[in-house]
Each structure stands twice: as C-alpha cells, then as structure tokens.
Amino acid sequence: MSENFGVFGTAVSTAHPSLALIKYWGKQNIALNLPATPSLAVTLDCLTTETHVEISRPVDGEEVSDRVFLDGILQREDRFAPFFTGFRKLTDKMKPGMGRFVVTARSSSDFPTAAGLASSASGFAALSCACTAAVGLELPAEELSAMALIGSASAARSIYGGFTRLDAGSKAAVSVYGENWWPEFRIIVLELEKEPKNLSSREAMERTRLNSPYYQAWIDDSRVLMERSVDALGGRNLDALGPLIRNSYLRMFATMFAADPPIIYWKPGSLAIIQFCDRMRSDGFSVWETMDAGPQVKLFCLQNDVPAIRNRLIGEFNNLNIRICRPGGPPSVRGRIET
Ligand code: PMV
C-alpha cells in the first residue's frame, strides 16, 4: 500500500483524574506496568484533561516520531514510547491495512500537571480514547483501560466513571460502582502548590520497591485494606471507609519515608491540613484526608458537611485553592476519519 502524506483521522477526548482511596504504590512488573498493590478509586468530576489527537501518514521514507505536547510543551519521547508501541500493536491487529502513521497529541488540563493531582491518570485515559477514536476503533472499556495502563496504572481507572478497582498484577481496571452510587459523597481538592514534583512517581515507586524495608509489609497490608474498603463502600459507610483511607495513604508514605534516600512529597502546609482534619474529626465531622505523589491534600466527606468544612478551611488557611468534586463520569470522545 502506498503511503500518502496527510491526515488520517482526528479526535478529541476529555477525561477526569482517578483519586485513590486505597493506594497503588509499587510495580509488580515494570515492563508491563502492572501494579503490585490493589487500588480502589473515585473519578473526580471537577478536574478535566482535554486531549486532541491527529493521526497522519508520513511521506514515503520520511522518519517521524510521535509527539505529545502538554500545555504546548513537547514532552520527552521515552515517557510515551511504551504507550504508542501498545497502540500500534492494537492497530496492527484490528486495522491491519492501516500502514505507517504518526501521532500528534496536544493535551491540557484545568489543574496543575505532575503535581500530585493525578494528571497522568486523566492524561493517558484521554490519550487512549482519542488515539483509538482517531483511527476509527471502538473498544470496550476494559480494552481501553488496558491501553491506558501501559502509560500510567492509575489511568486504567480513569476510563470508568464512579468507583473503580485495579487489582494487584491486573492488566486493566474494572468498575465497582457508577458515579451515582453515593450521591452525597464529596471530595474536596486542596491545591497548595502548582509546581511539578521533582521526583516522578515512577522513579519513587522503584526506589521504594528496591530499598524500603517496609515494602513487602505495605503490599501485604494493602490487600487487607482493599477488601475492607470495598465492603465499606458497598455500605456507603464513610465512618468505616475513612479510617481505611487514612491507613492506606499513611502506610504508603511510611514505606516511602523508609526508603534510602527517603522520599518526602509532603510540605509543611500538607501536614498542617492533616492535623486540621484531625481537629475537625474531634469536633464531630466525618472528614478524611488523603495524599498522593505531591504536596496536595484531598478530603473525603459528605455533602451536608461541605459548607462548614469549607468555612473552617478558609478561616484557617490563606491561599488555599479549594475545589469541591463529586464522583465523575467516564471520558468523552469524538472522532473523525478523514480518508
Ligand atoms: O499511575 P501513577 O504512576 O501516576 O501512580 C499513581 C500513584 C498514586 O497516585 C500515589 C496512587 C494511586 O493509586 O493513584
């Protein structure tokens, strides 16, 4: 088949980050990017990544590479290479006549990137949906999830709305409950800083696996927390779920603190919020914090408590960017084939 220069197809997808209640931290298989711990997460409606993809045909003999721009800045090719290799394997299988092509993706988020707000989850979920739509493929959610996982394991969960789980060693996430399962459930996202982290979660996970003496205990304990959390979520019981959420993030960080050299994503402001949450609980609020690979803190609570918690936070902290989220829906996607 001769290769004609020109656009083959375009697509645009929006996706939301997946915030873990029970955390994934550590890889069982690095080449396949399989998680070592199970995770339970909720998709956040108030944060969005939008990704535009163009698939074009290079002219005969032209050497071209796939390109990804985040907020207009060209990203390192190696970060996306495994994802695009996976995407090509899929198109070879499902669209055998397609021939050579090159992907150009432009992505932007309405929240800071690589700062502990799960931009890689929404980013790779949107990229998976947009790439497949731009070549005219309609995949079941589980296959999209498997594709997103190659880029970032948490992205496998962002393919679904509502509550999702990704089991240890699993190649794809599954839906646990849709976004309407718990209408009163709220997530308060507190943004302390916009700067990208200086240690990627990928590098930090590997360091934790290689030299934290608590790594195996963390993995064993995660399984227990996971099963208890799924039960608490099934009963829509925040008083039962909250302590498990807290155990999960604190045990994840305890394992990181014990690495050599230690991994410390926390900032003084993060600890101040953690301690403030504890005070709010003493005052009778069911509010439970969590953190990821960055200084931001997210709180889980129920709708009725949001105004009071918000007022208390505003009264206590300056310069805190507060977003109130609900469980969000799955990615949206629109594609167009040109040829
Ligand atoms: O999927 P990654 O590589 O961005 O790692 C996500 C890790 C945590 O956010 C800390 C936990 C999680 O389960 O999302």
- Extract the tokens encoding 317: 């902290």
- Report the separation in Å between the CA atom of 334 and the middle of ligand 1, taken as the mean of its atom positions: 27
Considering the chain, what is the average pLDDT of its residues?
Answer: 95
pLDDT score at 2 = 38
The H-or-E segment that residue 13 falls in is strand 6-15
pLDDT score at 59 = 81
Q: By alpha-carbon position, which residue is closest to atom 6 of ligand 1?
A: 154
| Alpha carbons 289 and 63: distance in angstroms, whole number | 49
- Report the separation in Å between the CA atom of 134 and the middle of ligand 1, taken as the mean of its atom positions: 27
Q: Percentage of the chain surpassing pLDDT 90?
A: 88
Domain containing 327 equals 1-339
Task: Please tell me if the CB atom of residue 201 comes closer than 6 angstroms to any atom of ligand 1.
Answer: yes
Provide the 8-state DSSP code for 46: T
* Mean per-residue pLDDT, 44-58: 96
| Alpha carbons 144 and 134: distance in angstroms, whole number | 14
Residue of 171, 57, 164, 169 lying closest to 103 (CA atoms): 57
Q: How confident is the model at residue 5 (pLDDT cuts 50, 70, 90)?
A: low
Q: What is the pLDDT of residues 271-301, one digit of tens each?
A: 999 999 999 999 999 999 999 999 999 999 9
Q: What is the pLDDT of residues 75-103, one digit of tens each?
A: 999 999 999 999 999 999 999 888 889 99
Domain tally, the chain: 1
Res 107 pLDDT > 60: yes
pLDDT score at 193 = 83
pTM of the full structure: 0.95
The residue to mutate among 40, 42, 154, having the most atoms of ligand 1 within 8 angstroms of its beta carbon, is 154
pLDDT score at 4 = 43
CATH of the domain at 17: 3.30.230.10
pLDDT score at 301 = 98
Q: Are strands 102-109 and 67-70 parallel, antiparallel or unpaired?
A: parallel
